[in-house]
Amino acid sequence: MFQPEIFRETRRWVMHDLIRAHPFATLVTTATGALAADHLPFVLHEEDGEDGILRGHLGAANPLCRSAPERGDALVIFQGPQTYVTPSWYASKSEHGRVVPTWNYVSVHARGGLRLVRNADWLQQHLHDLTTQLEGSRPVPWSVADAPEDFVTRQFRGLVGIEIEITDLQGVWKVSQNKSPADRSGVITGLRTEGGADQLAICGLVDARGRQ
């Protein structure tokens, strides 16, 4: 991932926070002999390994489950908030007009070795961790134990776990750091006016990064 210095994020805890907040990611591999991408949620175990371990699961019919070597390479892309930024919001537009549209976004790339896991106990623990992460804030959280045991056992037969020990983390936080205070202020006002979830999230990041 291209990381201009002004947008580069290197703090492990910041990137881990994004992974936890946006767990649905794109898994990119070449184990099938060509580039392939799968989309799935991950659970980050930051206490394991130097940069953490990602755990997820795939359907057993996925070609990756038949083709992956014992230790294949993998890239996992986590996408945070993102939004279009119109140059009409920049104060400098009325001053000299030398402005163009852009896109503000936050992204983390995690690389590491992928391992397939075919173990019912591992899958049960992983699904418990995953549902706890996704259901924990709900008034009445669902858990794996809520489903009949024989049904869960049959479901496990159709799943294969994946585990990726992260060996490299790269982050980009492109949130108008390269703009003047007046232009950043215009972006903040414009995003607040639009008011979508991504727009408001980026608005907060533009404001926070501008204060650093």
Beta carbons within 8 Å of 173's beta carbon, 6+ residues apart: 7, 9, 14, 106, 205, 209
Q: Tokens 């202020």 belong to which residue?
A: 185
d(CA 54, CA 76): 9
Instruction: Summarize pLDDT for 10-30 with one digit per residue, the tens.
Output: 999 999 999 999 999 999 998
In sign, the C-alpha dihedral spanning 61, 66, 69, 70 is positive
Assign 69 a pLDDT band (cuts: 50, 70, 90): low
Which pLDDT score is estimated for 134? Answer: 93
Q: Closest Cα to residue 191, out of 210, 204, 180?
A: 204
Backbone angles phi, psi at 31, to 5 degrees: -65, -25
Q: Is the pLDDT of residue 40 over 80?
A: yes
* Coil vs helix vs strand at 194: helix
Task: Say yes or no to pLDDT of 53 above 70.
Answer: yes
Does the predicted TM-score (pTM) go above 0.85?
Answer: yes
Closest CA to 56 of 29, 87, 89: 29
What is the model's pLDDT at position 67?
A: 75
Phi-psi region of 97 (alpha: psi -120 to 50; beta: other; left: phi over 0): left
Determine how β-strand 159-174 pairs with β-strand 24-29: unpaired
Query: 180: Cβ–Cβ under 8 A, 6 or more apart, which residues?
Result: 91, 92
Task: Render pLDDT for 142-170 as a digit per residue (tens, 0 to 9).
Answer: 988 888 988 888 888 899 999 999 999 99
- Residue 56 pLDDT: 97
